[in-house]
Amino acid sequence: MIILGTGILLAGIAAGIFFFPNILSRQDRKNSDDSFIPARVKYTAPELALKDLEGQQVNLQEFQGKVVLVNNWATWCPPCKEEMPALQEFYTRHKDQGFVLIAVEAGEPAKEVAQFAQDYGLTFPIWLDPQNKSIRVFKNYNLPNSYVIDQEGIVRLAWTGAISLRNLEKYITPLLEN
C-alpha cells in the first residue's frame, strides 16, 4: 500500500512540474520573459523580392545601410499574434534610428493580411509571400522566425519563436548604436 501511495504521489509531483508552466495565465507569461534568445550568426543576407500590401514590388537589398528585422509570420499563428505588439512598439521606438521591420506574411490573401494589420495597429512594412520564398531563403519553416541584418547586409541574429520587447531591446538596440 505504501509503495502504491508513493508512486501516485511521485506521479502527481511529476505531472505538476510538467504542467504547471502551462497553466500560468497569459498575463503571467506576458510579464515574464519567456521569449526565445537569438542565435548569433554571420552570413550575407539572402536576396528576397516580394510584393507589399499595396502590390508594389519590394526588395530586401533596398534597405542596405539600415538595421533590418525580417519577421516571417502568419495571421493564423498564435505566437506570431502574441509577438506583434512588441514588434510594433520596438519599431515605433527605433524607426527614426535607421531601423526597419519587414513582416513577411506566409501565404494568406492580401485582404486578410491588411485586416490583420489594421486590427493590430501595425505600421511597419508588410510583405506578402504566397509561395513562402522568405521561409525557403532563410531555411526555417517554423513560425514565427526572425532575422536581424546589419547595415552592411550581414545577418547577425536569428530567432525561432516569439520575441519579447525586452529581448528586442537587448539584442537589436546595440546594433543601432554602431
pLDDT at residue 139, rounded to an integer:
94
Phi, psi of 127 (to 5 degrees): -110, 150
Which grid cell is 146?
526572425
In our burial notation (b when 16+ CB lie closer than 10 A, e otherwise), range 105-120 reads bbebebeebbebbeee
Query: What are the φ and ψ backbone dihedral angles of 30, each rounded to 5 degrees?
Result: -65, -40
pLDDT by residue (tens digit) across 78-133? 999 999 999 999 999 999 999 999 999 999 999 999 999 999 999 999 999 999 99
What is the value of pTM for the model shown? 0.80
Instruction: Kindly tell me the sign of the dihedral angle through the C-alpha atoms of 146, 20, 85, 172.
Output: negative
In terms of Cβ atoms closer than 10 Å to its own Cβ (0-12, 13-18, 19+), residue 90 is buried
Residue 117, classed as helix, strand or coil, is helix
Query: Please, what is the Cα angle at 150 between 49 and 83, to 5 degrees?
Result: 75
**Residue ranges, CATH 3.40.30.10, the chain:** 35-176
pLDDT of residue 36: 78
What does each C-alpha distance from 113 to 43, 53, 132, 166 come to in angstroms? 30, 8, 15, 26
pLDDT, residue 58, reads: 97
User: What CATH class is the domain 35-176?
Assistant: alpha beta
- What does the angle CA 120 – CA 21 – CA 79 come to, to the nearest 5 degrees? 25
Residues 2-52 have pLDDT tens digits of: 554 444 444 444 334 333 333 333 333 344 455 678 999 999 999 999 999
